[in-house]
Structure 1
Amino acid sequence: MLAGCSSSTPSTAPAPAASLPPPAPVGATPPAPAPAQEVVANAQGFDTFLEGVRADARRAGVSNATLQRALSGVRPLARVLELDRRQPEGVLSWEQYRDRIVSQTRIENGRRAYAENRALLQSIEQRTGVSPRVIVAIWGMETNYGSNTGGFNVIEALATLAWEGRRAAFFRAELLAALRIIDAGHIQAEAMRGSWAGAMGHPQFMPTSFERLAVDFDGDGRKDIWGTRADALGSIGNYLARSGWQSGQGWAMEVRPPAGFDIERADTETRRSIAEWGRLGWRRADGSPLPASDTQASLAVPTRSAGQVFLGLPNLRVIRRYNSPMNYGLAVGLLADQVA
């Protein structure tokens, strides 16, 4: 997520684990492209819009050959507009979200993914300083360990959203970035598949995030976040490292509030040392004292929580730079604690 905007972000929560297929084995062939999508009827002005995109892309240095291959036959997709306009049908409580997302199935699949990629993850940790279990947890949250990376043609999805106009400037910039990525040789146009919002590959990077933060971890000259585990997981690690990850530090601790605490009026902005939180009457969830630590922490209150509260450490803020909702960040941390 989000690395910008993904199938699970920066908009909605990831799909429940129960709705996702089991993780593909290491080295498996990527899923086959989705069937052709229904196009928008009477797409007035779309061809004119594409001509403007071609002109902008040429000015940015994209070759005519890339534009011909990437934009030939592109039409606005009705399904993309339907998903973009859909309003959530219901709102989960934190406890429902937590139990659905950090499910036993997702934990077990995460443990298997961690074990299968242990050497690679250790190499990424050596280079970036980022915890392997957090990388795996984000991988699991975003694409169920690479098994659900999205079946939309990214160019077609982004063109649809940029043409439709509700967030035209944002998606036009992403479309131009996607064309530059193809032109640079990182992926073929027909293989650039992702979510309806244009989030791509195992990490669900938006194209502009790809340009800033994707890495060629295996050194083959391409940043392949679609089919190369090293590049995909290395790019997640690079994203977190560049966002300020503190090596060897935790992400949060569940705490028990003092008497009189009102979760509805919780101050989540003030940072204090963990020792000071302890002096104010906060304790660990099991009732034991907080450590006498100078580490700064702030209250992390899940959205629609029935009472569970955490002290968020700096690395929780880093996780939330990947995908901003508090419940997402907390779920990543809880999953990370379970997978390794």
Structure 2
Amino acid sequence: MAGRPEGGATERGLRRFCLAFFVAALAFLATPASAAKVDDQFRAWLQDDLWPQAKAQGISKNIFDAAFQGIKPNLKLPDLVMPGEKPKMPQKQHQAEFGSPGAYFAEKTIGAVTAGGRARETANAKTIAAIEKRYGVPGEILLAIWGRETGFGAAKMPYDAFEVLGTKAFMSTKKDFFRTELLAALEIVERGLAPVGAMKSSWAGALGQPQFMPTSFLKHAVDFDGDGRVDIWNSTPDVLASIANYLVHYGWVKGRGWGFEVTVPETVSCSLEGPDQGKKISQWAALGIKRVGGKPFPASELNAEGFLLMPAGRSGPAFIATPNFYVLKEYNTSDLYALFIGHGADRIAHGDSNFSGGWGPVGDLHRSDIAALQRTLEAKGYDVGSADGLPGFKTRRSIGKWQAKNGQAATCFPDAGLVTALK
């Protein structure tokens, strides 16, 4: 039968239990204390650092206090640096751009945007026609952005903008950027454009259905329904017109679309890609580039400038983009985002039709892999834009130039073999 433990064993076990309990108690007490310390530092920062600048910019004390009443730093937000600590080294990242870019165009996602866009195009036909007349931006483009950003307003805005922007201005890796946005958010309330309680945002501090940062709200949000207030949270006319106004501000060219899917013969180098290597569309056509499906380029476009766009190099569809494509990139700097909006708008206007070109089995790399490749190319004298781990057009065409120089077929897109070859 099991006997009772000897006294020494009992005492050792009791000491271990007490020690474990003490450590656990310290851990339990440390977390709230640490959080409380951050809260205290945040309140001091608000009053001693942010308030003097806000006051100098015309923010009243009543508005300032109302905006931050009950607000504490949200330590669950990404990209934060605890006070007194240094930023941590980024972990390896694996994103859609590094697998097949085709994943970005999953039918479930783009199908929802196009079907929802068509339904809302019909329901809001009069409003959209009025916005098109005033701003010159096709309604389908506005609908595609609306659908992509917030699912036509279905996505909830669960965060308090002052909590998000305050936290990030106080302790994020981009304090200056978010400080500017925080002060702009205070200005929105100070000017009576929205009450404090309406300032609901995404986890990044973007406001309303168009997902405007506060500075963009101040520059571009408009009252299109004529009710005397700008409401990008609830008013469809204000939402769509504000998006149009944003695009016009960044140079949307009335009467032109975003671009055309094309076939690019092997005789045309993929390293000719980029917004700084434009040609007349007639010149691209003279090189053998053709629209897919045998359609000719519109006569009105032949003397206008276009740009080669190959977001997956030779392993994906190719396009001749217009300047409006790069206006879409002002909304989101990703090539794939702008392409999604253009493609979604085409599908809203003309019906479901996927790209003719397929997305090849490219990528499966981490962002750190791309950054290492970029640094190597930079050391060899190539312009990759920056070694940020994102394969933008400068990186893609630099890859193509290096491949051609080293007797390889130019693919203009990173792969595991290329990363190994350039180590």
TM over 0.5: yes
* In 1: Cα distance, 2:160 partner to 2:247 partner: 27
Rg larger in structure = 2
Q: Is the 8 A contact 2:273 2:309 kept in 1?
A: no
Aligned to 1:331: 340
* In 2: Cα distance, 1:260 partner to 1:127 partner: 43
Structure number with greater CO (CA < 8 Å, separation at least 6) is 1
CA-based RMSD: 2.4
Alpha-carbon distance, 1:40 to partner: 8.1
Aligned to 1:53: 50
One-letter identity of the residue aligned with 1:227: N
Match of 1:309 among 307, 313, 318: 318
Match of 1:121 among 120, 128, 131: 128
Deviations 1:72-103 (A, max 9, x none): 11111022236998874433422111225753
* In 1: Cα distance, 2:239 partner to 2:344 partner: 19
* In 1: Cα distance, 2:308 partner to 2:316 partner: 13
* In 2: Cα distance, 1:155 partner to 1:305 partner: 45
* In 1: Cα distance, 2:250 partner to 2:221 partner: 13
Q: Is the 8 A contact 2:262 2:291 kept in 1?
A: yes
Aligned to 1:90: 95
Q: Is the 8 A contact 2:79 2:172 kept in 1?
A: no
Mark the runs of 5 or more structure 1 residues left unpaired by the alignment. Answer: 1-37
Between Structure 1 and Structure 2, the one with more helix by share is: 2
Aligned to 1:76: 73
**Secondary structure class of the residue paired with 2:78:** helix
Aligned to 2:242: 235
CA distance 1:238–1:279, change in 2 (3 Å): same
Alpha-carbon distance, 1:125 to partner: 1.1
Q: Percent identity?
A: 36
CA distance 1:68–1:297, change in 2 (3 Å): same
CA distance 1:324–1:299, change in 2 (3 Å): same
Matches within 5 A, 1:163-312: 163-261=170-268, 263=270, 265-268=271-274, 269-287=276-294, 290=297, 293-303=302-312, 306-312=315-321
> TM-score normalized by structure 2?
0.67
Q: Is the 8 A contact 2:273 2:310 kept in 1?
A: no
Number of corresponding residues: 302
* In 1: Cα distance, 2:34 partner to 2:251 partner: 43
Alpha-carbon distance, 1:307 to partner: 2.2
**Secondary structure class of the residue paired with 1:331:** helix
* In 2: Cα distance, 1:90 partner to 1:40 partner: 33
One-letter identity of the residue aligned with 1:320: K
One-letter identity of the residue aligned with 1:187: A
> TM-score normalized by structure 1?
0.82
